[in-house]
Amino acid sequence: MSESTITAKGQTTVPAQVREQLGAGPGTRLVWHVMPDGAIVVRAKTKSILDLAGMLKAPKGKHVAVEDMNAWR
Protein backbone atom coordinates (compact mmCIF):
# COMPACT_ATOMS: atom_id res chain seq x y z
CA MET A 1 0.00 0.00 0.00
CA SER A 2 1.29 3.43 -0.96
CA GLU A 3 0.51 6.72 0.69
CA SER A 4 1.12 10.41 0.15
CA THR A 5 0.52 13.63 2.04
CA ILE A 6 -1.55 16.63 0.99
CA THR A 7 0.43 19.89 1.15
CA ALA A 8 -0.83 23.25 2.42
CA LYS A 9 -1.56 24.12 -1.24
CA GLY A 10 -3.77 21.01 -1.61
CA GLN A 11 -1.21 19.16 -3.72
CA THR A 12 0.06 15.61 -3.40
CA THR A 13 2.60 13.42 -5.16
CA VAL A 14 1.41 10.16 -6.69
CA PRO A 15 3.84 7.51 -5.42
CA ALA A 16 6.30 6.17 -8.01
CA GLN A 17 4.98 2.59 -7.67
CA VAL A 18 1.44 3.76 -8.46
CA ARG A 19 2.61 5.88 -11.43
CA GLU A 20 4.48 2.87 -12.84
CA GLN A 21 1.47 0.57 -12.50
CA LEU A 22 -0.78 3.12 -14.22
CA GLY A 23 1.70 3.99 -16.92
CA ALA A 24 1.16 7.60 -15.83
CA GLY A 25 3.61 10.36 -16.56
CA PRO A 26 3.69 14.14 -16.72
CA GLY A 27 0.40 15.46 -18.07
CA THR A 28 -1.67 12.41 -17.10
CA ARG A 29 -5.06 13.58 -15.88
CA LEU A 30 -6.58 12.05 -12.76
CA VAL A 31 -10.33 11.75 -12.17
CA TRP A 32 -11.42 11.69 -8.52
CA HIS A 33 -14.68 10.10 -7.31
CA VAL A 34 -15.86 10.42 -3.71
CA MET A 35 -18.10 7.48 -2.89
CA PRO A 36 -21.10 7.73 -0.50
CA ASP A 37 -19.18 5.78 2.17
CA GLY A 38 -16.28 8.28 2.04
CA ALA A 39 -13.98 6.07 -0.02
CA ILE A 40 -12.14 7.79 -2.86
CA VAL A 41 -11.58 6.23 -6.27
CA VAL A 42 -8.93 7.85 -8.47
CA ARG A 43 -8.71 6.92 -12.15
CA ALA A 44 -5.94 7.90 -14.54
CA LYS A 45 -7.23 9.16 -17.89
CA THR A 46 -4.53 7.56 -20.02
CA LYS A 47 -6.59 7.13 -23.19
CA SER A 48 -8.54 9.51 -25.36
CA ILE A 49 -11.79 8.46 -27.01
CA LEU A 50 -9.95 9.06 -30.27
CA ASP A 51 -7.59 6.16 -29.39
CA LEU A 52 -10.58 3.83 -29.83
CA ALA A 53 -11.18 4.82 -33.47
CA GLY A 54 -11.04 1.78 -35.75
CA MET A 55 -10.89 -0.65 -32.84
CA LEU A 56 -14.09 -2.46 -33.79
CA LYS A 57 -14.66 -4.03 -37.18
CA ALA A 58 -18.08 -4.70 -38.70
CA PRO A 59 -18.91 -8.38 -39.24
CA LYS A 60 -18.34 -9.44 -42.85
CA GLY A 61 -21.21 -8.38 -45.07
CA LYS A 62 -22.99 -6.43 -42.34
CA HIS A 63 -22.37 -2.78 -43.15
CA VAL A 64 -25.04 -0.29 -42.11
CA ALA A 65 -25.45 3.13 -43.70
CA VAL A 66 -25.64 6.18 -41.45
CA GLU A 67 -29.11 6.92 -42.84
CA ASP A 68 -30.28 3.50 -41.62
CA MET A 69 -28.86 4.16 -38.14
CA ASN A 70 -30.82 7.42 -37.94
CA ALA A 71 -34.12 5.96 -39.14
CA TRP A 72 -36.14 8.03 -36.66
CA ARG A 73 -35.27 11.29 -38.43
pLDDT in tens, 4-52: 999 999 999 999 999 999 888 898 999 999 999 999 999 888 777 787 7
| 71 is a domain residue | no
pLDDT at 65: 81
Compute the distance between CA of residue 26 and CA of residue 66 in angstroms, rounded to an integer.
39
- What pTM, to 2 d.p., does this model score? 0.55
CATH label of the domain that carries residue 37: 2.10.260.10
pLDDT at 50: 81
Compute the distance between CA of residue 19 and CA of residue 40 in angstroms, rounded to an integer.
17
| 5 is a domain residue | yes
Compute the distance between CA of residue 65 and CA of residue 58 in angstroms, rounded to an integer.
12
| 12 is a domain residue | yes
| 20 is a domain residue | yes
Confidence of residue 64 (pLDDT cuts 50, 70, 90): confident
